[in-house]
Structure 1
Amino acid sequence: MTVPPFLPDTPDTRADLADFQGAVNRADELIGDVLALLRVRKLEERTLVAYVSDHGIPFPRAKCTLCDHGLESALLVRLPGTELSGGRAPRGQVSIMDLAPTLLELAGAPPASAMHGRSLLPVAEGADSGWYALFAKKTFHTAYDPMRGIRTRRWKHIRNFEAAAGVEIPIDVSGSPSYRVMAGRLEPRHHPPAELYDLEIDPDETVNLAGLAILADVEADLHARVVTWMRETSDPLLAGPVPSPFYRDAIAGTN
């Protein structure tokens, strides 16, 4: 077993990872059952199969963060007899947003004008994805912890908009052995206003380079792009803190 560098290599962490891998193996078995049924019913050659996940792994500094280990998700697509017949990895970054335009193109329908994704068919043929920057955000999960970020092919820049008491930890992570090992490390000082990581030399985002004079131009450019994206998407944070659902319910008098 390989323990990711951003996690401490301890027996508890290894046990946690083993449990997670067991869940992955079980999912693989169930997907195999579905594929076998398609084969038996002679539907395999004309059925598009897509497997996606909604976020990264449920470990500290992963799920519920804008780190790559929290943002990255599975995206496996197969349609025999097309560019998506399998066995290829994309060049460059892709996004789950790209799945819907891909399905529409395969169906012969144009994508909706409001869609931000791009068809994966050219990528499956070997073209570059064309995504040189992807944006990410989180406002609420189990607590109010607003953050916005940008990921280019080299840099990750995150802006944290709240002086939180610490890094928000979802309940399925806080109860894990890995979290108990790392709890003493997840102090408020690890949740700074700005974060900047060089993904070429620090893919696990462990060394925050924000504030370094030598990278001031890089940080300023990335920050400006985040703010521009927030304006383009009418981000509510531009008007100030976002009221919690409890606040809205209290004002409305609902339960």
Structure 2
Amino acid sequence: MNKGTVFKYEIKRILFSREYLLLLAATVAYSLSLLRGFVLYGADYTAPFSLLTFLNYCASLAPFLFTILLVLCTKQFKASERRAESIIGATPMPLHVFRLLRYSAIACAFLIATAIPVTACFMFYQQVFDYTAFGVLFWPGLLFLLPPAILLFGAAMLLGNRRGAAVYVMIAAVLIISIFQIKLPSFVDIIGSAAIQWRNQEKYDFALSSAFIAGRVTFSVVGIVLIIISLCQSKKSPSC
């Protein structure tokens, strides 16, 4: 079985699924409302294109993006998907390779969902403010969103293989933290709300704390380890 064919099938199946399109539409609509109602005026008296404003924008979108990622993970533990893994077991393609192709398709779908609102923000900066120094914002934004996504993805794929309901618990946890604006220590700040509290107003600058950066590095390492474990674990029927 050709790996490229399997990947194309998986990514097409995800991108044109009803759940993905609805969640993506909601994310895009919310991002546009943020651009008009929040970014335009800047955060805490800073410029609309300041790092603080942009990271606030990312933090507001994070629950939507992480929900998209976790919903895509839940689809992997349906009975139909389990049957597909059983069929693959009868082919020359190793199971871990098939899982890796599926993981890659989910990752691409998440990156597309992330790239659309970020690109919309950069276009807004260019068209409205003639601001194009996107590199100053891109890398902190990537640090803001990607490591927790890696951690959530790894945990979802590992736990979901054992108990499918665990992924729904993770979705609920992300939404509760964001809706009720629960402040977490910088090191474990999944959404990033603690990191965007500007405490250096006398100096009129903003920078991510070392604890926050260390937490992001830890998220990435732990997430990658969990992904590797989930790729190699034996097939199990998750309990719901």
TM-score, length basis structure 1 = 0.27
Q: Which has the higher contact order (CA 8 A, sep 6+)?
A: 2
The structure with more helix, counted as a fraction of residues: 2
The structure with more strand, counted as a fraction of residues: 1
TM-score, length basis structure 2 = 0.28
Say which one has the larger Rg. 1
